Amino acid sequence: MRIFLDTASVEEIREFVDLIDGITTNPTLLAQAAKPFREAIKEICDMVEGPVSVEVTALDAEGMISEARELARIADNVVIKIPMGTEGIRAVRALEAEGIPTNVTLVFSPAQALWAAKAGASYVSPFVGRIDDRAGDGMELISQILLIYENYGFKTEIIVASVRHVRHVVEAALLGAHIATVPPAVAKKLFHHPLTDEGIKRFLADWEKVPR
Ligand code: E4P
């Protein structure tokens, strides 16, 4: 499973740039980065080898397509994030036909994910955390999408998004999701376990007792 970092902060990306497989941004994350938008995207794309998702803000297909063409010119690794909806799906079909990769975002149901795949999206982003926040089952959605995609041999890759904790990442991996996009705080936790720290401490203490 590939791990993307869900941030637009250059400082946070720098910490993991050699370990992660890509980046996802959204308007909220870009607002937090507090830098001129195109400048921030260019800087991120230059740092990261993998795909960098950048979201359009137009609400009609035509507007999304022209925004996407402009964003795609920033760097070769830009992936256009398109909000789910009929206009979004029209835009995905047109952009993928032009060779511009898309990531259908704000997906909360298997039917929406089916449309994303039928339109030929490169990626789909189901938001598991926001579903769990409302007492739903985000991971159940992932397993349903995986089954639907397997049934028809769809090539669209699933990015498990809106990740809140390590268990989301582990469950995504157990289900066989292609990618999880994780906030930096969760990315850090993926490496750690208290028994690892305790084990290192004990081994180092014992090493001091080894005759040399
Ligand atoms: C994914 O592409 C989104 O940027 C992100 O995962 C949204 O997460 P949130 O629900 O924590 O805002």
Cα gap 41→71, rounded to integer Å: 9
The pLDDT, as a whole number, for residue 151 is: 98
Tell me, using a 6 A CB cutoff, whether residue 129 lines ligand 1: yes
Which secondary-structure segment (H or E) carries 120?
Answer: none
The pLDDT, as a whole number, for residue 72 is: 98
CA 192–ligand 1 middle distance (angstroms): 23
The pLDDT, as a whole number, for residue 128 is: 98
The pLDDT, as a whole number, for residue 131 is: 98
pLDDT < 70 positions in the chain: none
Return the best residue to mutate from 7, 20, 26 for the ligand 1 pocket (most ligand atoms within 8 A of CB): 26
Report angle CA 21, 116, 109 to the nearest 5 degrees: 95
Tell me, using a 6 A CB cutoff, whether residue 103 lines ligand 1: no
- Is 81 in the active site? yes
CA 161–ligand 1 middle distance (angstroms): 6
Q: What is the pLDDT of residues 74-106, one digit of tens each?
A: 999 999 999 999 999 999 999 999 999 999 999
Residues 6 or more apart from 181 whose CB is under 8 A from it? 3, 4, 5, 6, 22, 24, 125, 159, 160, 161, 163
Residues 6 or more apart from 83 whose CB is under 8 A from it? 55, 56, 104, 105, 106
CATH topology for 2-208 is TIM Barrel (3.20.20)
Domain boundaries, the chain: 2-208
Tell me if 179 sits within 8 A of 2, measured CB to CB: yes
Helix, strand, coil shares of the chain, percent, nearest 5, are 55, 20, 30
Cα gap 40→36, rounded to integer Å: 6
The pLDDT, as a whole number, for residue 61 is: 98
Atom of ligand 1 nearest to the CA of 105: 2
Return the best residue to mutate from 162, 164, 178, 179 for the ligand 1 pocket (most ligand atoms within 8 A of CB): 162
The pLDDT, as a whole number, for residue 79 is: 98
The pLDDT, as a whole number, for residue 190 is: 97
Tell me, using a 6 A CB cutoff, whether residue 184 lines ligand 1: no
